[in-house]
Amino acid sequence: MDRARLQPVRLALLGCGTVGEGVVRLLRSSAAMLEQKLGAPLLLAGVADRSLKPNPAIGLERTMITRDAAALVARDDIDIVVELFGGLEPARGLILQALRTGKDVVTANKALLAEHGAEIFGAAAVAGRAVGLEASVGGGIPIMRTLREALAGDRQRAVYGIVNGTCNSILSTMTERGTEFADALAEAQRSGLAEADPTLDIDGHDAAHKLCLLATLAFGVSLKPRQVHTEGIRRVTLADIAYARELGYAVKLLAIAKDDAGQIEARVHPTMIHTRHLLAGVGGAFNAIYVNSEALGASMYYGRGAGMMPTATAVLADILEIARHRLAASRSGAPPLGYPFAMVMPARVKPMDDVLCEYYLRFTARDKPGVLGTIASVLGRHQISIASVIQQERGVETTVPVIMRTHQARERNLRRALAAISRHKMVERAPAFIRIEEEL
C-alpha cells in the first residue's frame, strides 16, 4: 500500500456557510492525516460564495473565493465539486455541469436529491462519475454508506429515522421541561436550532426529503417527497405527551419507510414509541436511524444530525473515498445508490389509507353519561377495537378528555371514524390522534 507521493486531488467548494466552513477547517486541521491515509494531499482549489469575505483564521484567502460558481466548476484542474449551496437552483445545474465535465460530486443537498435524484444519478451513471451523498441524511451518521455497503448483502424491511434535529429538540424540551410547543419553538429559534421560518423542519418536509433518500438506499427504489405522507409536530400538545407517558410511550417525529412485499410505506409524523426503546433515548438535536433487516435484525446508528463539524466529517468521508478512486483512475466502489442506477425503479407506494397502525386518540367530550359508549360504538362500526382507555375523574369542567389506545386498524377506517365522531354533538373540537409504532 506504500506508494509514491501522488499529485494532489483538487476540490472546489460551492457555498461556504456553516458546513462549508467546517469542511475548510477539517481539510486544514486534518491535512497531514488525510494525506497519510490517501497517499496524496487534498487541496482546496477554489470556493464559490456570494459573500467574498475571506477567513484567514481557516486559511481562506480572498483570491480563492469567487461569485462565479459556473466558472469554478468549469476549471480543468478541479477533481471534485463539493456542493453546499443547498436548494434546487443553481445547485442542480452546477452538479450536472460538474458531472458532464468529468468531475465527481459530493453534496449534502437532500432537497435536491429527493426532487431531482433521478436526473443527477442518471447523469453520474452516464458520465461514470460518483455522487457522494453521506452528508444529506443524518449529518455525521454514516447511514448512507451503511445502507449501501454494510447492509448490501441483506434485505431491509423497515427504516425508522429521527432525522430532524429541530423537531427532536423541540419534542425533547416539551417532554423534559413541560414547555408548550410555541415556547419550545421560540427557544429553538433563539438558540439557532430552528430557522426564523421553521416550516421546512416543523412541518416534516425536511424529514420527508431525507426519508426519500433512506428509502432509495434501503429498498433500491426511487421515491419523491410528494409520495411521502407528511405531518409535522405543530399539533403535538403537552397533554398528549403526558398521556403518552402514562401509557408507556414517548412522542418522536419519525420518518418511517417499510417494504411490504414490494409495496413501499412512506410516512413522516409524530409517533408514539415505547419509552424503553433505544430511539426514545435519542434526545435533543441528536439523530438516529433504526433499521430492521431480514438477516441482521435490528440495528441503530446514532449521532449528530447537523452542525458545522459533524456534517463536515460526512463530506470529508465522501471526498476521501472519491479521491481514492480518482488516484487509482478506477471506479471500483459501490454505485451511489448501492444498486446500478438503471435498476432503481420508481417505488410502488402503499396508499396512506391502506396503512395499518395502532392509534392513540384523545377526545374532548361533554361530561355526560354514555359518551364513552357512543365513541366506542362508532369506532366499532369502523372495525376499530379499543385496547385501553384513560378517563379522568369528573370534575368541575364541563368537558372531559377521553384517551384511548386502539388495536391495529386501517388508516382509512380511523379517518372515517374520527370524522363521524367529530360530527357528534357530544364531542367538542376535532379529536387528536397520534400513531403508535408498537412493533418497533
In the complex, the residues that contact a second copy under the rule CB under 8 A are 1-3, 22, 26, 30, 33-34, 36-37, 39, 125, 128, 134, 140-142, 145-146, 149-155, 276, 278, 281-282, 286, 293, 295-304, 309-310, 312-317, 319-321, 324-325, 327-335, 338-343
71 in Cβ contact with 60 (< 8 Å): no
> Distance between CA 118 and CA 129 in Å, rounded?
14
Least spacing, CB of residue 290 vs a second copy, in Å:
9
Burial-class residue 117 by CB neighbours within 10 Å (0-12, 13-18, 19+).
buried
Q: How many CB atoms lie within 10 A of CB 233?
A: 25
Whether residue 369 is preceded by a cis peptide bond, meaning omega within 30 degrees of 0, is no
| Smallest distance from a second copy to CB 344, Å | 10
Closest to a second copy by CB, 306 or 417: 306
Contact between 231 and 161 (Cβ < 8 Å) = no
8 Å CB contact between 137 and 117: no
Which residues make beta-bridge pairs with 358?
436
Using an 8 Å Cβ cutoff, are 271 and 229 in contact? no
Work out how close the CB of 276 gets to a second copy at its nearest, in angstroms, rounded to a whole number: 7
- Closer CB to a second copy, 302 or 433, in the complex: 302
H/E stretch holding 375 reads helix 371-381
Closest contact distance (angstroms) between CB of 14 and a second copy is 19
Nearer to a second copy, 215 or 379 (CB): 215
Residue written as grid cell 462565479: 68
CB of 304 to a second copy, least distance (A): 5
Which residues are identified as catalytic? Answer: 210
Could you tell me if 336 and 121 are in contact, meaning their C-beta atoms sit under 8 angstroms apart? yes
Dist. CA 410–CA 158, nearest whole Å? 19
327/420 with CB nearer a second copy: 327
CB of 322 to a second copy, least distance (A): 10
How many Cβ atoms are within 10 Å of 430's Cβ, its own excluded? 13
C-alpha cell at 155: 434485505
| Cα–Cα distance measured from residue 385 to residue 409, given in angstroms and rounded to the nearest whole number | 8
- Select 155 or 429, whichever has its Cβ closest to a second copy: 155
